[in-house]
């Protein structure tokens, strides 16, 4: 599965992992990964994400809009090229990028 | 049996020979003690009948010499004596004789004693053989242990180097350690740590170290998540170890800046978290079954996540610590351990190790002891040596393709184009950024150009979905239209330059409008990515063609 979500043992933190290419083909899957869980800390684990394009950036922004500005969303374990894309797009303003 | 008769009286020798040969023994004769010793050395008889009073060397002396010569080997020596006083008989035995026969010799007693001593001799021989065998085995085991030990040390070797983020203490109860502690950097700049305690200790416990360490390193190189690592370790141990063997373990990952620790723990004592002063903040019980117990399908992969303050410390340890015994038989226990973390100790880690040793006193360590301290701060690892690829001659080239409806329908052609470009020396290290640039250019040409989709659709979340639904529908219905890609690569002495042109058969789009999206909008991101990553970007007037240049050899 290119998108996997897992709750931590205390049910407080939802980790969404994206494997391979993060692009428009994951639109549905990505949305359903976070849509059902409310009031948790969201972590997007990009350790296995090889590429992402602007459609993925749009998907992340949609996630932010849907969950609201107060939701805690972190993007973690980015490879350098992914981090660069996030930085260029100034995503550090909207997300906690580790 | 081969029997030596030492007697100076010929009649005695003849009589004995006659009896013994009649019973099927072979007989050698010596006429005095000295000759007896010489013949004994040359003929190695199985039993000796020894007269006491003889010229040149008497029986006592001869027996003493033979015993010294024999060392550990046992050959029965029976004295033949006319002496009957207790002192003389006692001397026979104390000097090294095994028995005595009174003269005149009684045939039946002689036969019975020879039989009895031959039995003792056989037993002795067997014992000696077993002793030799045992020594051989012992040597072999020692050698095998040496070999196994060196394999283990190699398998785990690199792991035991502490970096600025960890301190550890390992003390096996025997040569082999049933506790395993490994650490490895993660591809995203963080740190992985695993501590595992196999059932029992010594060699059988240490055997599990091999599959465990191999699997762990495979996972860390691939950058797997903690729950994936735990699951793969479980699968590997479950398949490898016998049912009664398993490993209590904790797998931890700290991110690069030390602000996040994710872990999976099964069967280990509570993990302690303290602040930078060493004051206990939290204890976390191992919520899972040890590794190697559950089948893959039953495996529980939930992880625990903590967001520590800078300088916080995690202490993970094996039950060898809490179950350390003192000479009175008391266990060290959780309370004694946790009492050290009250914030008053300047260095609770060192104090703990000292405390355990003092508690145990003279008593031998009863189990392997391992403890690791993980300090939550930005991960600093020794930089790996970087070898620079040799410079190769670079040739200019061009790549042209025109993609019609059928080619556009399948998966994105970008990866394939990138692979072709990457085959050229000097381009491959830019593949990742080029992939981004080419993907964006291709999406724009296809979606806004050929398919005529408008970004305005993407304004809402539902619209965003709609946009991609329409993309698929229109792509499936596409009868005509194309995207052409032209890439040229030129080199001068210093660096190479790629010029990439995308043209499409669409109606064109308003380039200026695209650039106006603000940072909250979920569209228009691609254009700014292209702007930043490329040296120059030029659209033609109608927006049906875009040309970008990208310089290789610059640092990004």
CA dist., res. B5 & res. B195, Å (int): 72
Specify the CATH number of the domain B2-127: 3.40.50.2300
CATH superfamily of A3-97: STAS domain (3.30.750.24)
CA dist., res. B424 & res. B399, Å (int): 12
pLDDT digits (tens, 9 = 90+) for B437-467: 999 999 989 998 898 888 878 877 788 888 8
**Distance (Å) from the C-alpha of residue B474 to the closest C-alpha of chain A?**
15
Phi, psi for B394 (deg, rounded to 5): -110, 130
Order of strands, sheet of A13-18, starting from the edge strand that comes earlier in the sequence: A3-7, A13-18, A41-45, A73-76, A96-97
Residue with tokens 């972190």: A74
Mean pLDDT for B208-219 is: 87
Going B129 to B132 to B134 to B136, the CA torsion angle's sign is negative
Report the candidate in B145, B249, B154, B142 with the shortest Cα–Cα distance to residue B197: B249
CB A98 within 8 Å of CB A87: no
Residue predicted with more confidence, B474 or B525: B474
**Hey, is the C-beta of A40 within 8 angstroms of any chain B C-beta?**
no
pLDDT digits (tens, 9 = 90+) for A23-34: 888 988 999 999
Inter-chain touch A77–B223, beta carbons under 8 Å: yes
Within 8 A of A67 by CB-CB distance, chain B residues are none
Q: Given this model, what pLDDT does residue B21 score? A: 92
Within 8 A of A98 by CB-CB distance, chain B residues are 255-257, 259-260
**How would you classify residue B167: left for phi > 0, otherwise alpha for psi between -120 and 50, otherwise beta?**
beta
Q: Given this model, what pLDDT does residue B34 score? A: 93
CATH 3.40.50.2300 domain range(s) in chain B? 2-127
CATH 3.40.50.300 fits B397-551, yes or no: no
CA dist., res. B399 & res. B472, Å (int): 28
Query: Domain B161-375 maps to which CATH number in 3.40.1350.10, 3.60.40.10, 3.40.350.10, 1.10.760.10?
Result: 3.60.40.10
**Distance (Å) from the C-alpha of residue B166 to the closest C-alpha of chain A?**
20
Within 8 A of A24 by CB-CB distance, chain B residues are 468, 471
Mean pLDDT for A88-98 is: 87
CATH 3.60.40.10 domain range(s) in chain B? 161-375
CB B239 within 8 Å of CB B215: no
CA dist., res. B119 & res. B128, Å (int): 14
Within 8 A of B301 by CB-CB distance, chain A residues are 6
Residue with tokens 């010596």: B30
Inter-chain touch A66–B461, beta carbons under 8 Å: yes
Within 8 A of A58 by CB-CB distance, chain B residues are 458, 464, 522-523, 525
**Hey, is the C-beta of B517 within 8 angstroms of any chain A C-beta?**
no
Domain assignments of chain A as residue spans, ordered by start: 3-97
Report the candidate in A90, A88, A94, A46 with the shortest Cα–Cα distance to residue A67: A94
Inter-chain touch B464–A7, beta carbons under 8 Å: no
Largest CA distance in chain A: 35
**Distance (Å) from the C-alpha of residue A37 to the closest C-alpha of chain B?**
16
pLDDT digits (tens, 9 = 90+) for B95-145: 888 998 888 888 899 899 999 998 988 898 899 899 999 999 999 988 888
* Residue partners of B138: CB distance under 8 A and separation at least 6: none
Please report, in angstroms and rounded to a whole number, the separation of the first and last CA atoms in chain A. 24
CB B500 within 8 Å of CB B440: no
Reply yes or no on whether the pLDDT at B552 is more than 90: no
CA dist., res. A77 & res. B243, Å (int): 36
pLDDT digits (tens, 9 = 90+) for B301-322: 899 999 999 999 999 999 989 8
Largest CA distance in chain B: 138
Q: Given this model, what pLDDT does residue B520 score? A: 60
**Hey, is the C-beta of B227 within 8 angstroms of any chain A C-beta?**
yes
Interface of A with B in 41-70 (CB under 8 A): 43, 45, 47-48, 51-55, 57-59, 61-62, 65-66
Reply yes or no on whether the pLDDT at B392 is more than 70: no
Residue B145 has a CB neighbour count (10 Å cut-off) of 15
Peptide linkage before B104 cis (omega within 30 of 0): yes
């Amino acid at each position: 599965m290119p998108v996997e979500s897992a709750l931590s043992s205390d049910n407080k933190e939802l980790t969404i992992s994206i494997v391979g290419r993060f692009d428009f083909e994951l639109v549905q899957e990505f949305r359903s990964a976070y849509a059902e869980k409310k009031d948790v800390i969201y972590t997007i684990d990009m350790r296995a994400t090889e590429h992402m394009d602007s459609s993925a950036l749009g998907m992340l922004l949609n996630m932010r809009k849907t969950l609201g500005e107060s939701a805690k969303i972190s993007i973690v374990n980015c490879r350098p090229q992914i981090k660069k894309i996030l930085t260029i797009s100034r995503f550090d303003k909207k997300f906690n990028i580790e | 049996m081969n029997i030596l008769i030492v007697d100076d009286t010929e009649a005695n020798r003849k009589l004995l020979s006659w009896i013994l040969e009649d019973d099927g023994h072979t007989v050698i004769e010596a006429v005095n003690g000295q000759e007896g010793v010489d013949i004994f050395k040359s003929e190695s008889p199985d039993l000796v009948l020894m007269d006491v009073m003889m010229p040149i060397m008497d029986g006592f002396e001869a027996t003493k010499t033979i015993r010294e010569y024999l060392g550990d080997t046992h050959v029965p020596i029976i004295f033949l004596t006319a002496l009957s006083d207790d002192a003389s008989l006692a001397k026979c035995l104390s000097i090294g004789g095994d028995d005595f026969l009174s003269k005149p010799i009684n045939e039946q007693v002689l036969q019975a004693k020879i039989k009895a001593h031959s039995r003792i001799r056989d037993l002795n021989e067997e014992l000696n053989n077993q002793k030799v065998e045992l020594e051989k085995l012992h040597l072999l085991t020692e050698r095998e242990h040496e070999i196994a030990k060196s394999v283990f040390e190699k398998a785990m070797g690199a792991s035991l180097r502490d970096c600025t983020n960890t301190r550890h203490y390992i003390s096996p109860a025997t040569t082999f350690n049933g506790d395993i502690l490994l650490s490895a950097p993660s591809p995203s700049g963080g740190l992985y740590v695993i501590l595992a305690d196999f059932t029992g200790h010594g060699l059988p416990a240490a055997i599990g170290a091999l599959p465990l360490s191999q699997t762990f390193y495979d996972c860390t190189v691939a950058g797997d998540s903690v729950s994936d690592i735990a699951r793969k370790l479980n699968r590997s141990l479950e398949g490898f170890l016998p049912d009664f063997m398993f490993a209590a373990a904790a797998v931890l990952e700290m991110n690069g800046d030390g602000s996040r620790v994710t872990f999976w723990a099964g069967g280990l004592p509570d993990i302690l978290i303290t602040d930078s002063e060493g004051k206990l903040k939290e204890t976390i019980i191992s919520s899972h079954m040890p590794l190697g117990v559950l089948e893959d399908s039953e495996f529980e992969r939930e992880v625990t996540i903590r967001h520590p303050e800078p300088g916080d410390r995690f202490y993970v340890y094996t039950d060898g610590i809490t179950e350390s015994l003192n000479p009175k038989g008391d266990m060290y226990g959780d309370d004694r351990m946790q009492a050290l973390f009250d914030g008053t100790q300047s260095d609770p880690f060192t104090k703990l190790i000292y405390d355990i040793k003092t508690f145990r006193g003279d008593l031998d360590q009863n189990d392997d002891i391992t403890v690791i301290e993980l300090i939550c701060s930005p991960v600093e690892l020794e930089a790996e040596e970087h070898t620079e690829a040799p410079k190769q001659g670079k040739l200019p080239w061009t790549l042209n393709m025109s993609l019609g409806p059928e080619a556009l329908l399948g998966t994105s052609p970008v990866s394939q184009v990138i692979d072709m470009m990457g085959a050229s020396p000097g381009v491959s290290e830019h593949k990742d950024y080029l992939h981004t640039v080419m993907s964006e250019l291709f999406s724009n040409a296809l979606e806004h150009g050929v398919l005529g989709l408008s970004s305005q659709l993407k304004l809402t979340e539902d619209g965003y979905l709609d946009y991609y639904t329409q993309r698929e529908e229109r792509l499936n219905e596409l009868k005509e239209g194309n995207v052409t890609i032209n890439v040229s690569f030129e080199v001068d002495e210093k660096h190479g330059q790629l010029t990439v042109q995308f043209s499409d058969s669409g109606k064109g789009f308003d380039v200026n409008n695209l650039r106006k999206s603000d940072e909250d909008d979920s569209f228009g991101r691609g254009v700014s990515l292209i702007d930043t990553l490329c040296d120059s970007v030029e659209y033609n007037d109608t927006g049906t063609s875009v040309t970008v240049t990208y310089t290789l050899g610059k640092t990004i």
